[in-house]
Amino acid sequence: MDIGIGLPVLRPDPGLSIVDWARRAEERGFASLGSTDRLVYDNYEPLTALAVAAGATTRVRLITTILLAPQRANHALFAKSAATLDRLSGGRLVLGLAPGAREDDYRTGGVDFPRRGRLFDALLETATRQWQDGGDIGPRPSTPGGPPLLFGGFTRPTLRRMVTHGQGWIGGAQGVEKFRSLVPAVRQAWRDAGRAGAPRLVGTAHFALGLDAPQRLHDSLTSYYTSGTFTTESIEAGLASPEAVANEVAAYAESGCDELILFPHGGGLEQVELLADAVGW
C-alpha cells in the first residue's frame, strides 16, 4: 500500500512553508501529497497549493482529496487549469473529485446547491472531452486523456461517475471500518460495468503527533467538521499517537486499500518526520 501525506493546508500557519514540507515529504519516501477543499473555511485552494508543491518536487503524486468539482463553474477553465498543472508537474496530478455536502460553500460561491450533481456531470463531460480532443483550448495534459480521476462519496451517482470516467474511489476519513464496509459496493459496481482490472481504492485519515497531539487534533477536527452526517465519526477516527497511526495503516492495508493519505492537524515540519517514523520508515 502506498502512503501519502497531506499538505498543511487547513488553517495554515503562514510561517510553515509548503515548499519545505513537500520537499521533506518526498525525501522521507511518501508516495503522494494531498490537498483538500472548502470554500467557507481558512484553507488554501487545492490546485494552487499543489502547484507550489509540484515546483518543489520531482516524484510524488499530487492528489486533490477531494476537490469540490461543481464549484468550478467555468468547466473549460477548470479543465485548462488541471491540464496545466498536469503538464507542469510531468503528469503527476491525480484528481479526487466529489460534489460535497456543505450548502454554505455553494451559497457563498453562488452555485446552486441542489443542482450540484448535474453541474458535476456537465463538468466531467467537458473536461474529459477537452483533455482528449484538445481543440482550440490547450495545453494538452502530460497524461494521455487527462489526469486520473478518483471519485469520493457513498451514492449511486458516485459509483456511476467512477465507472464511467474514473480509475477508482476515494473514501472519507471516517476510519478503516467505514472504508472496509464500502469497498464491496465499489468493486461490484466496477465489475457490473464491465471495467477491466480493479478500481484503485484510496483512503484518507487525520493525524497529529508529538506534543499536545490529542488536543491539537480534537480542536482542529472540531473546527473543520462543524456539522454534517459524519462529524462524530470523523472526529473520533483521528490518530494522535504513533501506535494509532501504525495500527490504522496496517488495518487499511489489510482491507485492500491501495493508498492511504494522512492529513496533518497542527504542528510544524516535524509532523512529516514523526509520521514517517510512525509508519516505520
Closest CA to 208 of 251, 160, 267: 267
DSSP 8-state secondary structure symbol assigned to residue 24? H
The predicted pLDDT at position 232 comes to 83
Q: List, as one string, the DSSP characters of 87-156.
A: HHTTS-EEEEEE--S-HHHHHHHT--GGGHHHHHHHHHHHHHHHHHH-TTS-PPPSSTTSS-EEEE-SSH
- pTM value? 0.96
Phi-psi region of 145 (alpha: psi -120 to 50; beta: other; left: phi over 0): left
Residue 4 binned pLDDT confidence (cut-offs 50, 70, 90): very high
Q: Could you read off the pLDDT of 72-121 as tens digits, one per residue?
A: 999 999 999 999 999 999 999 999 999 998 999 999 999 999 999 999 99
Residues 6+ apart with CB under 8 A from 138: 80, 83
The predicted pLDDT at position 225 comes to 87
The predicted pLDDT at position 229 comes to 54
- Per-residue pLDDT, averaged over 244-250, amounts to 98
The predicted pLDDT at position 8 comes to 98
- Per-residue pLDDT, averaged over 120-147, amounts to 94
Closest CA to 5 of 250, 249, 256: 249
* 20 pLDDT more than 90: yes
Q: Residue 34 in 3-state DSSP?
A: strand
* CA distances for 144 relative to 69, 84, 90, 134, angstroms: 21, 13, 12, 11
pLDDT-above-70 percentage for the chain: 99
* 248 pLDDT more than 80: yes
Residue 257 binned pLDDT confidence (cut-offs 50, 70, 90): very high
Give the chain's mean pLDDT: 96
Rounded distance, CA 97 to CA 8, Å?
A: 19
Q: How many residues are listed for the chain in this entry? A: 281
Q: Could you read off the pLDDT of 35-54 as tens digits, one per residue?
A: 999 999 999 999 999 999 99
pLDDT-above-90 percentage for the chain: 93
Cell numbers 498543472 correspond to: 85
- Per-residue pLDDT, averaged over 10-26, amounts to 97
The predicted pLDDT at position 228 comes to 56
Domain boundary assignment for the chain: 2-278
- Per-residue pLDDT, averaged over 59-79, amounts to 97
Q: Residue 167 in 3-state DSSP?
A: coil
Rounded distance, CA 225 to CA 222, Å?
A: 5
| End-to-end C-alpha distance for the chain, whole angstroms | 14
* CA distances for 203 relative to 78, 119, 132, angstroms: 25, 25, 28
Domain 2-278 grouped into CATH 3.40.50.970: no
Residues 6+ apart with CB under 8 A from 128: 145, 146, 165
